[in-house]
Chain A
């Protein structure tokens, strides 16, 4: 298992390199921020060519692209992701400040996904092809079809403006995470519930379920104790990939709910052409995604002892 994990981590490196190179290229195609930075440093006086050249040199933008990328990479492997063009703060520090906010949102959403999806999936399998199953399917499909930014405003209108139960936006204690986490959870929960239902229906046909039913156990305990555990594997894959993609989902949610997390950091950096921050956050997000996927794959062995990783091939 250790060897398997090491190989996976090794395979993640070219992907991260490709990702950083891609974002780096996009950043350089976007243009040279030196003029704007020079104008900003002294808005009253005119900007001289020397000032612009000095800033360009300071940023290393007078070097060819491969050299710049090499320098960035050399520092990045030592943990230095550069400095923001506008706040003059280290990119790594900004990410470290923003990450907990996003992590709290993602974990809360994950809990909600499980809380919503498991009852829906079990009920769907239990009432297979009855009207309850159809109603759950309709609900799940509609939830998965609504864009997050729309859902967010509907929830804010109902729970914050009308009922005044929860805060509209911002970071004010545990209650402020409920609406954003719920918004983030609806789509994935719909998907996971459908997957769990399909997976359960498959497992229900197996011999050990018939044995358990034959012993006289009722349908619901059998489903919950025996079937759910065995149906968990495909569900775990999706939950993992959803968790990894939270950075992606978090962009629009954090912007709508004004939560200062990684998503909002990325969004603001893109808006202000602060490309050191953009490169840093995107590479960080990609690394997180791959790490979570690896952890999910490793956890298969814990959920299902039949799975032996790294033996094949």
Chain B
């Protein structure tokens, strides 16, 4: 559905998928592929990633080479999307800039999923004081405004995409941890897990063999839903000037640059803006489809 998701609503849905084994996961994927929106999102996402991954091959120009004689050129065969205020080729900058945006969002998503999985499974399986400590930390971190704290951290400690991603990971995992814990709690009560425990399986074995496979569907869905939010947070911080340093392109930073020629050439704002929107839309569509597939009640 969207970018900001309340953990509770996701929990309710993912609980339904708590026991998703391999066959259930296949069924889930089948249901998701029946959703035309999700398929459209997947196609869009693959196209975008392929385009930015092959940027050096597709780009007609060096994204940082300046050509003041051809500043603010309209689109032509030479410059398919025209040039910016410094005469740099917009298409090349868009393709190269997307590498940073996509890679940063994927890194943040992977990091958050890993930390959330780790803390959620540990809290849900071990319980007791460990659970209490982790969940108190989760409550505190969930009460923090992600964008503001990330801006403060990166602004005060110095910018850079790596620090930006690290901050988002350190602040972003609690949503995952909460959902994973809820699912892990219900898995712990399942008969086959209790049987394994009765047979003398260690807690580590129960976690790795039974709990982790059971929560993967929930983690995948939530990561997809959160990915859109990460793209938006990361590009917003870049737009505000915390992140990629000039002259290297990045979509949020490109939009910020384009402000100087807002009245002369508003199209320069449109290209990076549309690129971000399409990227977020593609992951939102996929997340939407996955979630509906998890909870086919609707």
The segment from A93-101, A147-155, A211-219 that touches chain B is: A147-155
Q: Are B6 and A187 in contact (CB under 8 A)?
A: no
Q: Are A29 and B148 in contact (CB under 8 A)?
A: no
The minimal Cβ–Cβ distance linking B229 to chain A, given in whole angstroms, is 10
B156 near A27 (CB under 8 angstroms)? yes
DSSP class of B's interface residues: helix, strand, loop or mixed? Answer: helix
Which of B19-27, B188-196, B232-240 participates in binding chain A? B232-240
Q: Known contacts A26-B156, A252-B240, A270-B152; can you find 5 more A-B pairs with CB under 8 A?
A: A147-B232, A147-B236, A150-B255, A153-B266, A248-B147
Residue-wise, chain B 129-161 has the 8 Å CB interface mask toward A (1 for contact) of: 000000010011001111111011101110000
Contact B273–A141 (Cβ < 8 Å)? no
Q: Contact: A247 with B240, CB < 8 Å?
A: no
Interface size on A, residues (CB 8 A): 58
Interface of A is mostly: helix
Which B residues lie at the A interface, using CB under 8 A? 1-4, 6, 8-9, 37, 136, 139-140, 143-149, 151-153, 155-157, 228, 232, 235-236, 239-241, 252, 255, 259, 262-263, 266, 269-270, 272-274, 276-278, 280-281, 284-285, 288, 298
Q: Which residues of chain A (265-297) have a CB below 8 Å from chain B?
A: 266-267, 270-271, 273, 275, 278, 282, 285-286, 289-290
Are B262 and A278 in touch, CB under 8 angstroms? no
Return the 5 tightest CB-CB contacts between A and B, nearest first.
A150-B273, A30-B156, A270-B155, A191-B2, A145-B280
Counting chain A CB atoms within 10 Å of each CB, which of B8, B140, B145, B148 scores highest?
Answer: B148
- Of A22, A147, A190, most buried by chain B (CB within 10 Å of CB) is A147
Stretch at the interface among A84-92, A238-246, A304-312: A238-246
Known: A146-B277, A149-B255. A285 touches B1 (CB 8 A): no
Q: A27-B156, A252-B240 are in contact. Are A141 and B285 (CB under 8 A)?
A: yes
Measured CA separation A187–B3 after assembly (Å): 8
Q: Which residues of A contact B (CB under 8 A)?
A: 12, 14-15, 18-19, 22-23, 26-27, 29-30, 137, 140-142, 144-150, 153-154, 157, 161, 187-188, 190-191, 194-195, 198, 201, 234, 237-238, 241-242, 245, 247-249, 251-252, 255, 266-267, 270-271, 273, 275, 278, 282, 285-286, 289-290
A238: chain B residues at CB < 8 Å are 6
Whether B3 pairs with A144 at a CB distance below 8 angstroms is yes
Nearest chain B residue, comparing its CB with the CB of A188: B4
B143 x A267 contact (CB < 8 A) = no
Q: A191-B3, A194-B1, A286-B144 are in contact. Are A23 and B273 (CB under 8 A)?
A: no
A290 and B139 CA atoms in complex are apart in Å by 11
Question: Complex Cα distance A296/B143, Å?
Answer: 15
Contacts of A147 in B (CB 8 A): 232, 235-236, 239, 252, 273, 276-277, 280
Shortest CB-to-CB span from B144 to chain A, Å, is 6
The contact of B2 among A26, A154, A157, A194, by CB within 8 Å, is A194
Contact assessment for A241 and B6 in the assembled complex, using a CB-CB cutoff below 8 Å:
yes
CB pair B4 A245 closer than 8 Å: yes
- Contact check, B262 vs A153: say whether CB atoms are below 8 A apart: yes
Contact B239–A149 (Cβ < 8 Å): yes
A-B contact pairs, 6 of them (CB 8 A): A14-B140, A23-B149, A144-B280, A149-B236, A249-B147, A270-B155
Distance of A242 Cα from B144 Cα, bound (Å): 13
Could you tell me the distance between the alpha carbons of A63 and B273 in the complex, rounded to whole angstroms? 47
Structural contact, A290 and B4, CB atoms closer than 8 A: no
Q: How far is the CA of A271 from the CA of B285 in the complex (A)?
A: 36
Q: Which residues of B have CB within 8 Å of A142?
A: 277, 281
Cβ B140 vs Cβ A270 within 8 A = no
